[in-house]
Structure 1
Amino acid sequence: MQQRRWHRATPSVVGALALTAALSVTATPALADPQKPTPVSVFPSDSLTVADPGQITGRRVDLPTDDCGAPISCGLVQQLNQLDGFDLDPRIAVRFTRPVDPAQAAAGITVQGPDGRRIGVDRVVWDPSTKTLYAHPAEQLAPATTYRLRVGDGPGNRSVEDTFTTLSATDGLLDLRRQIDDGSAFAAAGVTPGLRVDGVFPATGTTVSLVQDSSTTGADTTAVVPVPQAATDGTLVFGSYEAPSWLRPDVTIAQTPTEDAGPAPLGEARLPFVAVLPAGPTPPGGWPTAVFGHGFTRSTADVFIAAAVNSRSGIATIATNVVGHGYGPASTWQVSSGGTTTSLPAYGRGVDQNTDGAIGSTEGSSATGAAAAQSSRDALRQTSADVMTLVRSLGGTDVDGNGTPDLSGREVTYFGQSFGGIYGTMVTGADPAIARSVLNVPGGPITEIARLSPAFRNLTTESLRAAGLLNSDDPTRNHFQEQMPLRGEGPVTVTVPGAVAIQEYLARSTWLSRPGSPETFSPLIAPERAVFQIAYGDQTVPNPTSYTVIDAGDLWSRTSLYRNDRTPQAAINPHGFLLNLAEFPVAGIQGQTQVAAFLGRGEVVDPDQGGDVWEVPISDPALLLPLNFPQPALRP
């Protein structure tokens, strides 16, 4: 697949102590003015790699493992040493002989690519204790590319330069898609693409409940959850399909040399689907079909709301569960129609990862043990592959048994909300079989969503606790202070002990997770194939993380901004506006109308027809640089 345009910088890191110890470029003291601060080391550097002809880049990372910290931090270094290059948003580190003015020193740092264009830096941090300046490129860098890092005012007033090579971050998911396309994944896993229908019901007069399998101890902890339905006519279809699985028990995918075809599937998984078909006679070849991607903690149950406007627009909508979602495998649908209640398997994908006897709403969606720093990287890659398999399982599906197909497998479209927008960006970038996509409130990387969101910051706390890096007793700060500036903010001087170590750990974790992150794949999306819907002041997927995803692919012309701050709901977190019709009855239908118009006709409509609540496209990308939270108390 041809990449479109990579231009936003984002490689990550190595530990502060490890970084400054690895002197990739060293000044000669005799050449330096003793009264003038001069750089004595820079990171990243290809000097911290070894030759490896099995990799696309010809290199493999080789960070020092001595004094790497707690076991989880050492394990993180060992995993980074399997990669074929540095992060796409590296945490640049420059150690000086004397204190510097952070802003002035940062102005002398540039990253130059093969085309000769120089990129500056931002998100600057100065650590006076080690005389080290940290920064990130102002634009996301391209994968598998060698860059020249230049620092001004070196020895003898000459610049200090070094080179570093970025990892081939898209390769892993592209390998899975190629295996799906050439059939080798299906052959290896023993999978035959296609849908198996378990039950078909008229939407009118039918009620649905999800019985959640949430216990492994035999205790009666199941919950019967009524499922709201917005589509009042048409047909509801329940069933399953087989998909190749690359996931190991610890929710990771094996890292193989990037020059090969990628790891082989380890087996097959039977996954759920729920589809909502429009009312009326089926068109020849079947209904145009959109795949819906649900959010974090959610399940296929959301398709009944998500399909509302699609159904009225003549588009069928189908959904499956994300890895680790839908509760346990014994979960069932209870479908009441025509005076009869039918129990159907819901194929929950949750597992009891922490062995406490309970299965939570997301349990099984993150890596465990020594691989915990990978977070949801491989669960997202597996889910993306599951969507690709679902797309290839649609054609020819005969729902009602009349011998003609009801779901078209041609020009399949996609729309996803929140987590569904995140892996939907990955799918859209990696899979040309997706004709068009609407990505609602996505963001990335996951590590930044967790750090900045009041809803998820506790996840960062637990990660730092496991690494022994918590540095605060203040629960209002979630027991850590990282002192990290947002993009576009001025330099920060570190004053809190332990903040640099936290920055280091988060940057390494982001680096490791980059192959399963949406901003890695947004540069592969041609603008005409996507629309992004962003909510101003989103407290769940904060605006700066949405900026990262959209800016990485230069997709601002395809970005639609919902200005919740200009509505009577301004005090409510707008993250769920698309599906939360109880609190956002107008914005939800407006957003879904924009979805249906783009998926059905490729048309980008203004949901409020020239009003001031929707900006189509966004008037100024800088609007998404701040958090924009309505209450200061919610700021991390």
Structure 2
Amino acid sequence: MSSRSWRRTTASVVGTLAVTFAVTATATPALAKPGKADPISAFPSDSLTVADKGQLTGRRVNLPLEGCGAPISCGLTQQLNQLDGFDLDPRIAIRFSGPVDPAEAAARITLQEAHGGWRTGVDRMVWDPATTTLYAHPAKQLAPGTTYKLRVQGGPANKSLQDTFTTMSATDGLLDLRKQIDSGQAFKDAGITAPGLMIDGVFPTAGTLVQLVADVTPEAPDTAARNAGFTTNQGTYVFGTYLAPNWLRPDVTIQQTPTRDAGPKAPGSVRLPFVAVLPPGPAPAGGWPVAVFGHGFTGNATNVITAASTNMQRGIATIGTNVVGHGFGPDGAIRVVQGPKVTDLPFYGRGVDQDGNARIDSTEGSSATGAASAQSSRDALRQTSADIMTLMRSLGGTDVDKNGSVDLSGKDVTYFGQSFGGIYGTMLTGVDPEVTRSVLNVPGGPVTEIARLSTSFRGLTAASLTAAGLHNGSGGTAQDFQEQMPLRGEGPVTATVEGAVEIQDYLARSTWLSRPGSPETFAPLIDPERVLVQVAFGDQTVPNPTSYTLVDAGNLWSRTSVYRNDRTGNAANNPHSFLLTGPPAAAAAGQAQIATFLKGGETIDPDGAGNVWEVPISDPALLLPLNYPQPALRP
């Protein structure tokens, strides 16, 4: 069976997200006056599951494998069949007996909790005339581990349709890792006696240059050093390592276990580097309050130095480590230069040479490989979140300079993360109550949507489509594939491009598979009083619609601050990195807002009566469009 004929069956109506770039976002009615057309099948449906007592939902997905397409697509389906339910943002598919007006038909679709009153409608509609199928998504993200009724109301002369489906226990895996850490079982399984920091070097920040000697070529590690930065305040640098339980396998996946289990055992440990910057002067009784910093994609632990400056002024120590797949190879070094004196300390980068080209790139090792490649960074993000949980629990009682005092407090630890750090920081904050307060700078989700919409990462989506044999571009560039789906809040689209619906199917299944390691899944677990979200208007790296999805999933609108780059002289540029490398005024304002919130929970408007910052956001609809400054930037 071909992939096109397979998707025409009821069982194949598996969902996605995608966005229209090459066609209008408005669909014309299928007929000027559609005749009677009854809904005849629906997806998702619990009829595509089997009973499984080992799962929290009592179900396990059982999609058909016959005619599943290319090996990558079949492997993806096999992995979905290990899950205990459907996606939290499923691509709903209603097949009709004939043509319909997509907008009118969508207005008759509702989803309601099977045992409660909560309900929602649908948006992001796509009409496929070839199969008389209407695709859509819930207007609101659904809850994990919950059964829903999917209803299509009939018109005056039409039949109705009703089915039920159950969402997967999407938060369970990461919650299991946190419980293992809290109980101590993870450390026991990994052979770690107790969490703690090992100090390798302590240096005054004044007059000290920190460099990263990156392990880029494994056979002959580099000797060239990259400047990690100076800190101008009179504080202290601390470098060292700690041991963390490691659940990752060589293909950058974590074993999938039945959701009623306590999760997989950590088969071993990993030694991770840390970089800390302490404020000037002696530590207060009990040690410096500590904020963990989560670096961005392509970054590494030395980014703590840039991020720590304002915290130092407020009496907060800042610490951070490497994300999975970041920091280049394991044989790197921190080079500390003090005049003529040079000291090299181990850095333990977390990158690996996945493609076998004898080079380790800045993010190589952060995504799953082989048959599990559709999982992308799902388990790398879950492992990174667990690494930070371990780092937090390693702080208390740390005597940095061996003078008998406690320099780093393990109480009331806070967190702030930029970009990728905002993404896994959302996951961390959602599952770990040890995070007292958290600032999430320019986060978004799902991760798959960021890749698809971003001017920086769309090529990654193109590569995955090419590997799956689904790339349908004809313009001569890797990024010219056409998926034909509107943004949230836009009108219906009629599928007219060959292969667009197949791309939607594949991307939807990829998103579904990666949902347990995507930030919007965990946003509803966050107490709004514990968090501040910073969004950059017109962000081209983590696009505004993905920030909307994350914030809306957690109902964090009252906790969302928007940097209006479009109202500055920097309006033509990508504002994504404003916090660390943007215009000085923007960086200072953003860091001041962060440090104030971390220090005492107060949310300030950095420019007061000015219009560059909206605190909180004035209208959530502001983040629905891409808001790119030039139409040509749209993928």
Q: Is the 8 A contact 1:418 1:442 kept in 2?
A: yes
How much does 1:20 deviate?
4.1
Q: Deviations over 1:193-215 (max 9, x none)?
A: 00000000000010011111111
Equivalent-residue separation in structure 2 for 1:509 and 1:599 (angstroms): 35
What is residue 211 of structure 1 aligned with on the other side? 213
Mark the CA change 1:23 to 1:388 in structure 2 (over 3 Å): closer, same or farther.
closer
- DSSP 3-state at the match of 2:417: strand
Q: 1:223 deviation in Å? A: 3.8
Q: Distance in 1 between matches of 2:5 and 2:147?
A: 25
Query: 1:116/1:528 Cα in 2 relative to 1: closer, same or farther (>3 Å)?
Result: same
Q: Does 1:22 align with 2:10?
A: yes
**CA–CA distance in structure 2, aligned partners of residues 630 and 267 of structure 1:** 48
1:556 aligns with 2:557: yes
State the partner residue of 1:83: 83
Deviations 1:1-24 (A, max 9, x none): xxxxxxxxxxxxxx8754541369
* DSSP 3-state at the match of 1:513: helix
What is the rounded CA distance, in whole Å, between the counterparts of 1:577 and 1:159 in structure 2? Answer: 51
Measured on the aligned residues, the alpha-carbon RMSD in Å equals 1.5
Match in the other structure for 2:438: 437
**2: CA distance between counterparts of 1:213 and 1:154?**
65
Range with bigger deviation, 152-161 or 128-137: 152-161
Q: State whether residues 276 and 307 of structure 1, in contact with CA within 8 Å, keep that contact through their aligned partners in structure 2.
A: yes
Post-superposition Cα deviations, 1:7-64, rounded to whole Å, max 9, x if no partner, equal xxxxxxxx87545413699xxxxxxxx9411111100000000000000000000000
| CA–CA distance in structure 2, aligned partners of residues 303 and 16 of structure 1 | 49
Deviations 1:92-151 (A, max 9, x none): 001111111110111011100132232100000000011110000000000000000001
Q: CA deviation at 1:222?
A: 5.1
Aligned residues of 1:330 and 1:345 also touching (Cα < 8 A): yes
Distance in 2 (alpha carbons) for counterparts of 1:331 and 1:48: 49
Q: Structure 1 CA distance, aligned partners of 2:618 and 2:124?
A: 24
Listed as ranges, the matches of 1:12-161 within 5 Å are 18=6, 20-22=8-10, 35-113=35-113, 114-153=115-154, 157-161=158-162
1:614 aligns with 2:613: yes
Please give the alpha-carbon distance, in whole angstroms, between the structure 1 residues aligned to 2:337 and 2:622.
47
Cα distance in 2 between the residues matched to 1:488 and 1:16: 28
Task: Name the structure 1 match of 2:353.
Answer: 352
1:484 CA displacement: 1.3
Larger CA deviation: 107-116 vs 51-60:
107-116
Partner of residue 630, structure 1: 629
Q: Is the 8 A contact 2:6 2:12 kept in 1?
A: no
Aligned partners of 2:530 and 2:230: how far apart in 1? 29
Map residues 344-493 of structure 1 onto 2, 5 A cutoff. 344-475=345-476, 478-493=479-494
User: 1:554-600 CA distances to partner (integer Å, 9 max, x unpaired)?
Assistant: 000000000000001111100000000xx410010100000000000
Distance in 2, Cα, partners of 1:179 & 1:615: 40
Query: How far apart are residue 477 of structure 1 and its match?
Result: 6.8
Q: 1:496/1:19 Cα in 2 relative to 1: closer, same or farther (>3 Å)? A: closer
Tell me, what secondary structure is at the counterpart of 1:578?
helix
8 A Cα contact 2:416 2:441, kept in partner? yes
Q: Distance in 2 between matches of 1:230 and 1:140?
A: 43
Go from structure 1 to structure 2 and tell me whether the alpha carbon gap of 1:546 and 1:216 turns closer, same or farther (over 3 Å shift).
same
Deviation larger for 229-238 or 242-251: 229-238
CA distance in 2, matches of 1:154, 1:179: 53
Secondary structure of 1:134's counterpart equals strand
C-alpha distance in structure 1 between counterparts of 2:179 and 2:35, whole Å: 58
* Residue-by-residue CA offset, 1:589-636 (whole Å, 9 max, x unaligned): 100000000000110011111210000000000000000000111101
Deviation by residue 1:435-490 (Cα, 9 ceiling, x = unmatched): 00000000011110000001000000100010000101214571311111100010
Give, in whole Å, the separation in 2 of the partners of 1:562 and 1:509. Answer: 31
Deviates more, 1:79-88 or 1:92-101: 92-101
CA distance in 1, matches of 2:92, 2:389: 36
What is the distance in 1 between the residues matched to 2:339 and 2:8?
Answer: 71
After TM superposition, the structure 1 stretch with the greater mean CA deviation from structure 2, 57-66 or 478-487, is: 478-487
Q: Which runs of 5+ in 2 are unaligned?
A: 14-33
Structure 1 residue 339, shift from structure 2 partner: 3.5
Measured in 1, the distance between the counterparts of 2:5 and 2:369 equals: 26
Task: Specify the code of the residue in structure 2 equivalent to 1:167.
Answer: M
Q: Secondary structure at 1:483's aligned position in 2?
A: coil
TM-score scaled by length of structure 1: 0.94
Q: Which whole-Å CA distance do the structure 1 matches of 2:155 and 2:58 have between them?
A: 30
Q: CA deviation at 1:152?
A: 1.7
Q: Is the 8 A contact 1:231 1:311 kept in 2?
A: no
Q: Does the C-alpha gap of structure 1 residues 24 and 63 become closer, same or farther in structure 2, counting only changes over 3 Å?
A: closer
Aligned partners of 1:624, 1:461: CA distance in 2, in Å?
25
Is 1:520 aligned to residue 521 of structure 2?
A: yes
Letter of the structure 1 residue corresponding to residue 93 of structure 2: A
Q: Go from structure 1 to structure 2 and tell me whether the alpha carbon gap of 1:320 and 1:511 turns closer, same or farther (over 3 Å shift).
A: same
- The AA in structure 1 aligned to 2:604 is V
1:551 maps to amino acid? D
1:142-194 alpha-carbon deviations (Å, 9 max, x no partner): 00000000012289634200000000000000000000000000001011200
State the secondary structure of the residue aligned to 2:210. strand
Task: Find the residue that maps to 1:40 and give its secondary structure.
Answer: strand
Preserved contact between residue 214 and residue 222 of structure 1 (Cα < 8 Å): no
CA distance in 2, matches of 1:606, 1:35: 56
- Matched AA of 2:605: D
Q: Which residue of 2 aligns with 1:592?
A: 591
Structure 1 stretches of 5 or more lacking a match?
A: 1-14, 26-33
| Aligned AA (2:631) | P
Matched to 1:127, the amino acid is D
Counterpart of 1:256? Answer: 257
CA distance in 2, matches of 1:612, 1:274: 36
1:28 — aligned with what?
A: none
For residues 230 and 613 of structure 1, the distance between their equivalents in structure 2, rounded to whole angstroms, comes to 28
Looking at structure 2, the residues matched to 633 and 302 of structure 1 have their Cα atoms a distance apart, in angstroms, of: 32
Secondary structure, in 3 states, of the residue corresponding to 2:364? coil
In the alignment, structure 1 residue 304 sits paired with structure 2 residue 300 = no
TM-score by length of 2: 0.94
**Secondary structure at 2:175's aligned position in 1?**
helix
SS at match of 2:610: coil
1:267-301 residue CA offsets vs partner (Å, 9 max, x unmatched) = 00000100000001210000000000000000011
Q: Give the letter for the 2:602 counterpart.
A: E
Could you say what secondary structure the match of 1:187 adopts? Answer: helix
Give the Cα–Cα distance (whole angstroms) in 1 for the partners of residues 5 and 406 of structure 2: 62
Matches of 2:279 and 2:5 in 1, distance apart? 60
Aligned 8 A contact 1:127 1:494 in 2? yes
Secondary structure of 1:628's aligned partner: coil
Identity score, percent:
69
1:245/1:267 contact within 8 Å kept: yes
Aligned length: 611
Letter of the 1:65 counterpart? L
- Specify the code of the residue in structure 2 equivalent to 1:451: R
Asked if 1 retains the 8 angstrom alpha-carbon contact of 2:208 and 2:230, the reply is no
- Give the letter aligned to residue 37 of structure 1: A
In 2, Cα distance between the equivalents of 1:308 and 1:475? 46
Opposite residue 483 of structure 2, the aligned amino acid is: E
What is the match of residue 203 of structure 2?
A: 201
Q: Deviations over 1:363-382 (max 9, x none)?
A: 00000000000000000000
Deviations 1:334-377 (A, max 9, x none): 10125411001111001001111100000000000000000000
Aligned CA distance change for structure 1 residues 193 and 89 (closer, same or farther; 3 Å): same
Letter in 2 for 1:88: L
Determine the C-alpha separation between the residues in 2 that align with 1:158 and 1:473: 41
Distance 1:377 1:384 in 2: 11
Cα 1:19–1:48 change in 2 (3 A) is: farther
